[in-house]
Amino acid sequence: MTFHDLQLNHHILKAVDATGYSEPTPIQAEAVPAVLAGHDLLAAAQTGTGKTAAFTLPMLEKLARHKAEGKRHVRALVLTPTRELAAQVHAQVRTYGKFLKLKSAEIYGGVNIYPQTKVLRSGVDILVATPGRLLDHMNQGHLDLSRLEILVLDEADRMLDMGFIHDIKKIIAETPKNRQTLLFSATFSPEIKRLSHTILHEPRTIKVAADNTAAERIKQTVHPVDRAKKADLLSYLIGNNGWNQVLVFTRTKHGADKLSKRLSADGLPSTAIHGNKTQAARMKALKAFKDGRVRVLVATDVAARGIDIDKLGQVVNFDLPEVAEDYVHRIGRTGRAGNAGEAFSLVCIDEKHLLHRIEKLTGVGIEKVLVEGFHPDPTIRPEPVKKRSNNRRRGGFSGQGYAKPRHGSGFKNRNHA
């Protein structure tokens, strides 16, 4: 199948051809016809599967087929959990719709609201927005969604995790009941299923990957290491392996800044993005990373949502996430659009319970590789882990330390080249 088989008009196909893509991904091949046929959609697709184009292409096609009467108004709304993702989605809307006479805009917090107000008052066909800033505009009378035709919830699971459910419900209450609604999520969690029952009408269900599983094309590796040696090991891996574009995740904003400064001091140009940075600073840092002016981008989970970089080769978990599902989202920044990718996790003894949760969630035992010169100290004992409601300690690596794992623990005592 090619994009020419999806009943898209020649203006959209011309834009698609300009991107170099000729064949739709599985999610695109299923979603585009379903959306064009007018169905609501419940789609489970992990990052890197081409899901943005899966709703952008048919959305543009439907709006182009039927011109609106009267003053220009919001006909399609895409809600995203973060500013970065809103910018990424809007970029694709502009890419695929550049030969169409449709006007689009992006609105989100962290920037001056007045330029956004001016754009909204001039009229737009397609709006990409974060829930909070969208509600601000609605409450101030800058926006009317009464004639909305298509509503898209992108990364709906993340929006629920971030506490946007009430904002989403307020926004949906201002839209027509006969709208077409497309809900995209990395997983079909119980919360997503409950939401879908309330906002979707007889939806088509598409599932292109098993729930909560990491993409098979991503090679995953754990490097056991003492916490105090993590930064040294990260610098060694980047320099020794000649990685030119690396996305590194930390758990805290302070940790991101500290690590970025350390890497730069080691001769590895680095920058950090997190929630305390202004939107302008975050976009500037991301652009510098994409352009190759910095070698390492250190990010927290929220700030990294929506980062879409073609052929990003390596993702490193400097700290494991507290929530296992975030691991899937993190490593999904690499291995996108069919490309191969690598995900490395630097895991100290105190994080073994977090690794256990990740392996249980994904159903994959991740390979453990000891790096010569960075073997963990076997005398270090883990800090006590807070007990869960079932009073069971979360296990992890076999034995008390990394140096002498028991048989079958998954460690391989080989040097990292």
Bridge partners for 315 per DSSP: 247, 343
Q: What percentage of the chain has pLDDT greater than the value 90?
A: 59
How far from 317 is each of 39, 210, 345, 375, CA to CA, in Å? 39, 23, 5, 18
Average pLDDT over all residues of the chain: 85
pLDDT above 50: residue 82:
yes
Structure tokens at 122: 């001039």
Whether 221 contacts 228, CB under 8 Å: no
Which pLDDT belongs to residue 255? 94
**Helices assigned H by DSSP within 131-216:** 131-139, 156-161, 165-173, 190-199
The whole model's pTM is what?
A: 0.64
Q: What is the pLDDT of residues 143-192, one digit of tens each?
A: 999 999 999 999 998 888 888 999 999 999 999 999 999 999 887 888 88
Name the nearest CA neighbour of 329 among 189, 183, 186, 161: 186
Torsion of CA 296, 300, 305, 307, to 10 degrees: -10
Mean pLDDT within 276-305: 84
**Better-scored residue on pLDDT, 205 or 67:** 205
Q: What is the pLDDT of residues 106-150, one digit of tens each?
A: 999 888 999 999 999 999 999 999 999 999 999 999 999 999 999
CA distance 356 to 180: 41
